[in-house]
Amino acid sequence: MGNLQGKRIAITGSRKMMEMSMMVQKKGGTAFERPLQETIKCTPEDMKASIEDVIANGTDWSVFTTGIGTSAVFEAANALGLTEPFQKAIAASRIATRGYKTVQELKKYGLTPEAEDGDGTNAGLLSALEQVDLRERRVFLQLHGEPVPALEQGFAKKGADLLYVLPYKTTVPQPEIVTKLVNEVIDGDIDAVLFTATPQVRVLFQEAKENGLAQQLAEAFNVRAAAGSVGKVTTGTLNEYGVNRVIAPEYERMGALVVAVDEFFKAD
């Protein structure tokens, strides 16, 4: 038995929801399923124009930002019967990546990045390319689930000619659940919320903001409910919304997040 006895833990990611709930229960806590994000894969047809553009016109840089997204793009190329020319076009370019899972995925295709983020963040990715001249250079950018203004603007400021591909989209499966969780955190009905991806944070705080509760929500996390973050990117987003007390594991894994939150409550 762990340190979560009597603790009410909300889990916000739809992926591995059951596994995380079981881990919370084994630590003695009560898991509440509060899915704020669902990932929907785009079809090969949705990505066809971008893939064909890279094949026909080439790209100076190929930038991959997630492992799941990288896999989806190459799977789409395969479904379209374009694996060989697409892989050849990417191999002919210089490659930059964000996240260790992305690097591992590219290895499956014999591709090695020239530039990597140092901390798993979009800011780290842009920093890795800081000395690279991208003026009028074609950049094939794999987005991750939703538009990422900071990343896109970073490349735009460097004068890059951007070509986007969006291999999957993030949606809110049950809007009423978002409202429910905002109120639960503010009212003290939840002891901790486990965030496994940045969009979950944004969805929760956007809902709170629309109802004039964003400041109260941040204060609740800083004083009562513990905000658990799976990694640096999600932690950074929580900080942006005014949440300064964030529990995050050393290794960015969902299981490690449960362990970190369990340790946090050890002194309770």
pLDDT in tens, 60-82: 999 999 888 999 999 999 999 99
Residues 72 and 157 in one domain: yes
Is 220 or 143 the better-scoring residue by pLDDT? 220
Q: What is the pLDDT of residue 262?
A: 95
- Choosing from 131, 166, 201, the residue where a domain stops is 166
- Quick one: pLDDT band at residue 157, thresholds 50, 70, 90? very high
Query: With bands split at pLDDT 50, 70 and 90, how would you rate the model's confidence at 118?
Result: confident
What are the pLDDT digits (tens) for 245-266?
999 998 888 889 999 999 999 8
Residue 20 in any domain: the answer is yes
Shared-domain flag, residues 53 and 162: yes
- Two structure tokens written together for 124: 């780290």
Which of 14-18, 53-57, 103-107, 170-174 shows the lowest per-residue confidence on average (mean pLDDT)?
A: 14-18
Residue 183 lies in a domain: yes
The whole-angstrom separation of Cα 258 and Cα 194 is 8
Domain total of the chain = 2
Checking if the pLDDT of 25 tops 90, the result is yes
Q: Decide if 2 is inside a domain.
A: no
Q: Do 239 and 253 belong to one domain?
A: yes
Same domain, 246 and 208: yes
| Residues 67 and 19 placed together within one structural domain of the fold | no
Higher pLDDT, 234 or 57: 57
One domain for residues 47 and 36:
no
Q: Say if residue 155 is in the same domain as residue 251.
A: no
Q: Is 234 left (phi over 0), alpha (psi -120 to 50) or beta?
A: alpha
What is d(CA 66, CA 256) in angstroms, rounded to the nearest whole number? Answer: 20
Residue 1 domain-assigned? no
The answer to whether residues 185 and 220 touch, using CB atoms and an 8 Å cutoff, is yes
Domain annotation covers residue 3 = no
Looking at residue 125, which CATH number applies to its domain? Answer: 3.40.50.10090
Mean of pLDDT values over 86-90: 98
Q: Which of 136, 166, 196 is the last residue of a domain?
A: 166
> What distance lies between CA 197 and its chain's CA centroid?
4
- In this structure, the answer to whether residues 56 and 74 fall within a common structural domain is yes
> Within its chain, how far is the Cα of 51 from the centroid?
23
The per-residue pLDDT for 138 is 97
- Tell me which of 166, 197, 223 is where a domain ends: 166
* Whether residue 100 has pLDDT greater than 90: no
Task: pLDDT band for 146, please (50, 70, 90 cuts).
Answer: low
- pTM for the full predicted model: 0.76
Residue 223, domain extent = 8-40+172-267
pLDDT of residue 122: 81
